[in-house]
Amino acid sequence: MTPGGDEYVQLLDASGSQSKRPLFGLSNEQLTEAMHTLGQPAYRGKQLSQALYRQWNTTFDDISTLPKDLRLALSDTGFVVGLPEIAETFRSSDGTERYLVACGDGQTVETVWMPGGDGGEEGDGTEEAENLRATICVSSQIGCAVNCQFCLTARLGLLRNLTAGEIAGQVVAVLKRQNVKIGRDRINLVFMGMGEPFLNYDSFMDAVRLLVNEVGIAESRMTVSTSGIVPGIIRFGAEKVRPKLAISLNASNNLVREEVMPITKKWSINDVLEAVRRVPLRAKERITFEYVLLGGVNDRREHADEVAALIRRANIPAKVNLIVWNPGPGVDFHMPLAEDVARFQSRLMLGGIPAFIRRPRGRDIYAACGQLKRTLKSS
């Protein structure tokens, strides 16, 4: 029995008045099983998978590789194609786009497109000039239950988990919108949108597998960020196929971290570092520690030195991404001063820790880190 098979058969039996079941999000095995139930050979499952994950078809009419009566049978059985649709687009002056992606139940979730490369490999002459480079920031839940004090998404609370299809579907909807060609263009995925991926672990990892195996994006181009959910980090370490790992550290000691990230009372900084140390790293892989600089709260010289010491002591191959806090309505923190940001970075470097300052993207359209909130308007 393939994963999800029981549930699938039940849905078939009870079809008719049942809510429509999206095909997008099903694994190859599940698609083949669906075809099998309709008396179809396995290659039909493969064709369906190609239509969903390679051709990005949105309606049964588009799926020309399947005979018409088979498309009808799928529809009569209660299936819909189910690729999520972009309901609204907000465009920033820096080229960033924020989308509201419509999920099946009328809810929307936020996804961000950030054009432009990381610059790391530019100028080596091996790339075609017209190659597109971009990063897509993907949401894993609608809202979030973690309650970090500086984050706008936290204000929503957790509305619900996203399904694997809704997570992978955000990526495909944006790839389609931007006319991306897999294999030609360089696309990075960051699971850093709304929600805590490790509190929706199974759907998140199912989505990763779909994106790697069916859509064709390498896992080495993906990064997942967690607020430090220890059981999730431990499971993640055992995955054969997995994105790179980023940890939202955001404070240099438990006292400050408990204030800004109350989840620290459940898992201390040490608990998190211990779990991270047990994640087997690939060649040259480093863990990213994200550190949101909150003016006057965690941005002092001694904080930087404490972070450097923490990471050195943990003996984890790491780098630190410094993020200037992005303001949001009703979130009571201050942006750090530019000179404090620069000092923080240089203290980390002096302490032997590579540190980078992340350029804020799409702040004017509420697309920057921690600004995602399910809004129909741009404010």
Q: Which does 30 bind (CB under 5 to 8 A by kind): ligand SAH, ligand SF4, none?
A: none
Annotation says 110 is catalytic: yes
CA distance 142 to 200: 11
Smaller CB distance to ligand SAH: residue 8 or 113? 113
Q: Which does 369 bind (CB under 5 to 8 A by kind): ligand SF4, ligand SAH, none?
A: ligand SAH
Residue 60 near residue 74, CB atoms below 8 Å: yes
- Residue 216 buriedness (CB in 10 A; 0-12 / 13-18 / 19+): exposed
Q: Where are the alpha helices (DSSP H) in the chain?
A: 5-13, 28-37, 42-53, 68-76, 164-177, 201-209, 230-237, 254-260, 269-277, 301-314, 338-350
Active-site residue identified among 144, 148, 151, 369: 369
Q: Which does 222 bind (CB under 5 to 8 A by kind): ligand SF4, ligand SAH, none?
A: none
Q: Which does 323 bind (CB under 5 to 8 A by kind): ligand SAH, ligand SF4, none?
A: ligand SAH
Residue 101 near residue 43, CB atoms below 8 Å: no
Which residues lie across from 234 on neighbouring strands?
Answer: none
What is the spatial order of strands in the sheet that 287-293 belongs to? 85-91, 97-102, 108-115, 133-137, 186-191, 222-226, 244-248, 287-293, 318-324, 355-358
E strand or H helix at 250: none
Q: Which does 299 bind (CB under 5 to 8 A by kind): ligand SAH, ligand SF4, none?
A: none
Q: Which does 219 bind (CB under 5 to 8 A by kind): ligand SAH, ligand SF4, none?
A: none
CA distance 199 to 215: 24
Q: Which residues of this protein are in contact with ligand SAH, per CB under 6 A?
A: 150-151, 192, 196, 225-227, 248, 250, 290, 292, 323, 325-326, 328, 369-370
3 C-beta neighbours (distance < 10 Å), count = 12
As measured in angstroms, the least distance from the Cβ of 78 to ligand SAH is 34
What letter does residue 25 receive in the DSSP assignment? T
CA distance 138 to 166: 10
As measured in angstroms, the least distance from the Cβ of 39 to ligand SF4 is 45
Q: Which residues of this protein are in contact with ligand SF4, per CB under 6 A?
A: 144, 146-148, 151, 153-154, 195-196, 227, 370
As measured in angstroms, the least distance from the Cβ of 248 to ligand SF4 is 6
As measured in angstroms, the least distance from the Cβ of 194 to ligand SF4 is 6
Smaller CB distance to ligand SF4: residue 196 or 306? 196
As measured in angstroms, the least distance from the Cβ of 193 to ligand SF4 is 8
Residue at shortest CB range from ligand SAH? 370
Annotation says 369 is catalytic: yes
Smaller CB distance to ligand SAH: residue 151 or 174? 151
Smaller CB distance to ligand SAH: residue 83 or 146? 146
Q: Is 257 left (phi over 0), alpha (psi -120 to 50) or beta?
A: alpha
As measured in angstroms, the least distance from the Cβ of 128 to ligand SF4 is 36
Active-site residue identified among 110, 166, 219, 306: 110
Smaller CB distance to ligand SF4: residue 331 or 349? 331
What is the sign of the dihedral through the CA atoms of 13, 18, 23 and 24? negative
Smaller CB distance to ligand SF4: residue 31 or 260? 260
Q: Which residues are catalytic?
A: 110, 369
